Amino acid sequence: MALMGGGMPIPEGGSEKLAQALLQLILDQGGTFRPNTLAHRIILKNKRAVGVRTTSGEEFHAKQAIVASTSPDQLYLSLLADESMSPPLIEQAKQFRYGRGCVQIHLALSEAPRWPDTRFNKVGQPHLTDGLDGFTQAIAQGMAGLLPAKPTFTVDCSTNLDPSRAPEGKAIMRIQVLEVPCRPTGDAAGRINVGDGTWTPDLTERFTERVLEVVGKHIPNIPSAVIGHSVVTPAAIARFNPNSGPGDPYGGSHDLAQSYLFRPLQAQPGHRTEIHNLYMLGAATWPGHGINGGSGYIVAQKLLKTKD
């Protein structure tokens, strides 16, 4: 609704600009940034979090607090694996549930999408669907582990707002198909062989064709205007981000039993952990997924209050 009413906010020049701006804030405050470095263990001493050890054995020490932007299973079962934490935390971390996956298709277009109704050019991120029944069916098929026969998804054309993202006259479009099984066990339409559920290039291409067929019904110059595409599969999401489990883009299922006071875990209903100077933030914590900065803001307020 917010996107329909207010439009789709995007950083000018590409999404990376947002990450770069946030990084610059850290650098401006004298912080350092270590890309391609995996935190392996959080070091505790006398029930305080005192540092982080990386997979290469380097150690970084903390003066005030450690803030982990991780899912609870990574935090308790991996980063704190050598420590004795309370049994309910460990048990619940083992049971933390991930949601379904996402297939995101990026299109390079020889021209802007030609919607039959030009008002769609101003809608942030419209859904393409047959209606509520079609939407419900696609989700039910995804929940059953099947590729949806008629996927429901969103499209957004960021070059409508920011032409600098493509060469003059050209356009780009993002198609976001949510509620896709991370490892499909079958195809609801019975036409795509999913093999053992691995997102092979063939499976990815066949599913992309299915999605583009639906797009073409709503936007007549697709797929003829497509000059290139690149697809992010659940497997790629899992590979790039240890917080996404098997490929959940939203850092853990947001079902009711894992939301609000139950997020991230019933035994830890907030950002503070049982180690009093170790905090958690990110999609697995309240208020959940999305580029909203909400959990970071909450944790920052807590840190400011405890600063000596």
Ligand X SMILES: Cc1cc2nc3c(=O)[nH]c(=O)nc-3n(C[C@H](O)[C@H](O)[C@H](O)COP(=O)(O)OP(=O)(O)OC[C@H]3O[C@@H](n4cnc5c(N)ncnc54)[C@H](O)[C@@H]3O)c2cc1C
Of 9, 88, 220, 290, the residue at the interface with ligand X (CB under 6 A) is 290
Nearer to ligand X, 261 or 291 (CB): 291
**Amino acid making up residue 122:** K
How many amino acids of this chain bind ligand X (CB under 6 A)?
A: 20
Is 121:7 a contact under the CB 8 Å cutoff? no
Of 42, 70, 129, 225, the residue at the interface with ligand X (CB under 6 A) is 70
| Interaction residues for ligand X, span 221-250 (CB under 6 A) | 232, 237, 241-243, 249-250
Q: x-or-dash pattern for ligand X, window 4-43, by CB under 6 A?
A: ----------------------------------xx----
Q: Is the dihedral of CA 245, 247, 253, 254 positive or negative?
A: positive
Q: How many CB atoms lie within 10 A of CB 228?
A: 10
| Interaction residues for ligand X, span 151-210 (CB under 6 A) | none
Closest distance to ligand X from the beta carbon of 133 (Å):
25
Closest distance to ligand X from the beta carbon of 162 (Å):
15
Nearer to ligand X, 184 or 234 (CB): 234
Burial class (CB in 10 A: 0-12, 13-18, 19+), 230: exposed
Nearer to ligand X, 72 or 251 (CB): 251
According to the binding rule CB under 6 A, does residue 282 interact with ligand X? yes
According to the binding rule CB under 6 A, does residue 279 interact with ligand X? no
Nearest to 89 by CA among 80, 102, 100, 99: 80
Nearest to 174 by CA among 158, 150, 151: 158
Is 280:273 a contact under the CB 8 Å cutoff? yes
Q: By Cβ distance, which residue is nearest to ligand X? A: 282
| Interaction residues for ligand X, span 97-116 (CB under 6 A) | 102, 104
Nearer to ligand X, 70 or 129 (CB): 70
Closest distance to ligand X from the beta carbon of 78 (Å):
7
Of 289, 300, 302, 303, the residue at the interface with ligand X (CB under 6 A) is 289
Of 151, 251, 252, 264, the residue at the interface with ligand X (CB under 6 A) is 251
Nearer to ligand X, 62 or 221 (CB): 62
Nearer to ligand X, 269 or 296 (CB): 296
φ, ψ of residue 262 in degrees (nearest 5)? -100, 10
Q: Is the dihedral of CA 59, 65, 71, 76 positive or negative?
A: positive
Residues at the contact surface with ligand X, assessed by CB under 6 A? 38-39, 69-70, 74, 102, 104, 232, 237, 241-243, 249-251, 282-283, 289-291
